[in-house]
Amino acid sequence: MSRQRHSKLKIAGAVCLSFMFLAGCKSLMIGSEEPTISGIAPAGLSPTDSVEREIGAKEHPKIIKAYGGTYENRQLEQMVSKLVGRLVAASSEPSRPYRVTILNSPTVNAFALPGGYLYVTRGLIALANDKAELAAVLAHEMAHVTSRHALARAAARQNSELVNKVMDNMVSEPSKGATVKARNLVTLASFSQVQELEADKIGIETSYLAGLDPFAASRFLETMGLYAQYLTGRSEDGNKASFLSSHPTTPERIKSAIFAARRYGGPDIGTREREDYLDAIDGILFGDAPDEGFVRGHSYIHPSLRIRFSPPEGYRLENTSKAVLAVAPDGSAMRFDGVNVSPDVPLTKYLTSGWVSGLITGSIREQTINGHPAVLAAAEAKGWTFRVALIRVGAATYRFVFATTEPNAEFESAIAETVNSFQTMTYEQAQAFKPLRISIVTAGYGDTVEKMAARMAGTDDQVALFRILNDVKQGENLKRGQKIKLVTTSQLSLPWPARDTPQAVIKNPGSGGHFRDFHKTNSPLRRRH
C-alpha cells in the first residue's frame, strides 16, 4: 500500500470518527441467476467446511453492499463462469462448489471468502487483457479458499490479540509490552505475505493445468502496478517496501510469479485466449457508475443530480460507494456527500444538532453559494481542524467536510475554492456527461498508439492509459488487425431527473451509493464514536 494510500485512509478515518455521515448504501440481493460454479458437491460436509460456508454466507451481503452491488452483464457472467469452472476442474479440489460474483466497482480488486465465495470487480475485468490474466487472479483467490487461509489468518490474529491483552495486564514496563506487540504485528504481516506467495504459486499451477498461460500472473501483476502508478501519480519503491504490508510488494511478487511459471516451460506455453476475452468485455462499464456521478479530470460531476464542483489543482479525487473523497499532497482531505435533511429544517439547526464533534458555534455563518443557501462552520477535535459547508439545492442538501492537522492559509484557500466551485448544471450541460465504457476496436493500416489513444475519453493522459489497458510497452507498435481497448463515452442517454427532486434518482435502489438513499428516511442523528 503506498504512503499516499495510508495518508488517505488515515485522514478519511479521522473525518468519520468526528462526523456522523448518513449516506445510504443498500445491497443488491442476488437472485438465482448469479453464476454458481459447482462440480459434484461433496457428499458430506466436514466441520471446517460448515464453518467456512457459514462465514461466507454471513459476510456475502456485506460485501455486495460495500462494493455498490453486482454488475449485471450476462455475456460477462457466462465467460467468468466458464473460466472458473475450468479452473475448478484443474484445482486440487475439483468437487468444491464456488459462488462467483462480479462487483459493480471500478476499483481493481478480487478476493475470496471462506466457503467458496469468489469476488472480482468489473474494474479488474476491464484492466485484464486475456482469459489467462483473469484466470491467474481467480485461481489465486481459489487457492486462498482451498488452503483455508482465511481461517488460519483469523486464528493467528486471535492469538496475537490474546498475547497483547496479556501483555497489557501483566507487563509493568510499557516499553516491553510495546516490543512484544510490535513483534506480533510483524509476525502477522509475515504470515500474510507467506500466504499470498503460496496462493500465487498454487494459482499459477492451477492455470497451467487448465491449459492457460502460467506467465499471465506476472504479466498482470505488472499491469496492476502500472495502473496504480497511473492513478496515484506515484510508483512503488520496491527497495523501501514496508515489511508490515499485508501483501508482498509488486516487484517481489512479479519475480516470484515468473520463477513459479518457469517450472512449466517457456513464455509461449499455454493459451491466452485474448480475442475471445476482448469480445466478452466489449461494452463493459469503465470507471464510475452513472448513478454515483463521475470524476472527470479535476472535477466531480453528477449528471443525474446536475451538480458539480472542482477542488484545487493537486487534490486527488476518489469516488467511493459512500462519499467523494479528495486528498491534497500535504495530507489535507475533503469529503463530499448528500445528507438527509428535511427542507423544513434550517441548515443551521441541522449543523448544531449534534453530529459535529468540537463544533465552534461562534464560527457559524450563513451565506449564498452560486445562488444556493449555505452554512459554513469550523470544528476542532482530537488534534484535527475541520471546516464544514452545507449547501441546499431545492429539496436536497449536500455536505463538504475538510480536515487537516496543520491548518494554514493554503488550507483555507482550498476550502474557499472548492466550495465556491459548487454549482448546478442545466439539462443540456448534464447531458454532455455520459458513462465511460470499454470499446473493442481493430487497428488498421497506419494506426499508431498515439493515433488510437487520441480517441480515448475521460482522461488527460490518453497515451499512458492506452498503453496500460492494452499492455503495449514503450517502443512497441500496433499491428494491423490487432484488437485493442479504447475508453469511450456511452452513446446511450440517461434519464435526467429534475435537480431538486433527488427521489427521482432511485433507478436501482438496491445497488448502493452516496446520493441514492439520503433523502429516503428522517432517522434521528446520532454521534458516531
Q: Which residue has the cell 494510500?
A: 5
Single-letter residue type at 486: L
Sign of CA pseudo-dihedral 261, 92, 77, 228: negative
b vs e for 125-162, b when ≥16 Cβ sit within 10 Å of the residue's Cβ?
Answer: bbbbbbbbbbbbbbbbbbbbbbeebbeebeebeeebee
* Rounded Cα gap, residues 418 and 332, in angstroms: 13
Residue 213 grid coordinates? 498461460
DSSP codes joined into one string, 8-38: HHHHHHHHHHHB------------TTS-EE-
For the chain, 529 residues long, the average pLDDT of each consecutive 10-residue run is 35 35 24 34 48 79 87 93 94 89 92 86 96 96 78 48 45 46 39 76 94 95 91 55 49 90 90 96 91 87 94 87 87 92 94 93 95 96 93 95 93 96 94 91 95 92 95 93 93 44 27 39 27
Q: Which residues fall within 8 angstroms of residue 356, CB to CB, at 6 or more apart?
A: 18, 19, 377, 379, 386, 388
Q: Domain 290-430 in CATH: superfamily?
A: Mog1/PsbP, alpha/beta/alpha sandwich (3.40.1000.10)
Ranges in the chain annotated CATH 3.40.1000.10:
290-430
Tell me if the domain spanning 436-489 has CATH number 2.70.98.
Answer: no
b vs e for 95-107, b when ≥16 Cβ sit within 10 Å of the residue's Cβ?
Answer: ebbbbbbbbbbbe
b vs e for 166-183, b when ≥16 Cβ sit within 10 Å of the residue's Cβ?
Answer: ebeeeeeeeeebeebeee
Distance of alpha carbon 517 from its chain centroid, rounded?
20
DSSP three-state, residue 256:
helix
Single-letter residue type at 279: D
Q: Which of 182, 20, 76, 138 is nearest to 529 (CA)?
A: 20
Q: Give the pLDDT score at 335.
A: 95
* Rounded Cα gap, residues 305 and 336, in angstroms: 14
Exposure of 70 by Cβ count < 10 A (0-12 exposed, 13-18 middle, 19+ buried)?
buried
Sheet with 299-302, side-by-side order of all strands: 294-296, 299-302, 307-309, 423-424
Q: Give the pLDDT score at 57.
A: 83
Span between the terminal Cα atoms of the chain, in Å: 26
Neighbours of 509 (CB within 10 A): 16
DSSP three-state, residue 45:
coil
Q: Can you give the three-state secondary structure of 353-370, one letter per residue?
A: CCCECCEEEEEEEEEEEC
* Rounded Cα gap, residues 22 and 525, in angstroms: 8
Residue 274 grid coordinates? 485474448
Q: Give the pLDDT score at 39.
A: 32
Ranges in the chain annotated CATH 3.10.350:
436-489
* Rounded Cα gap, residues 523 and 110, in angstroms: 34
Q: Which residues pair with 98 in a beta bridge?
A: 37
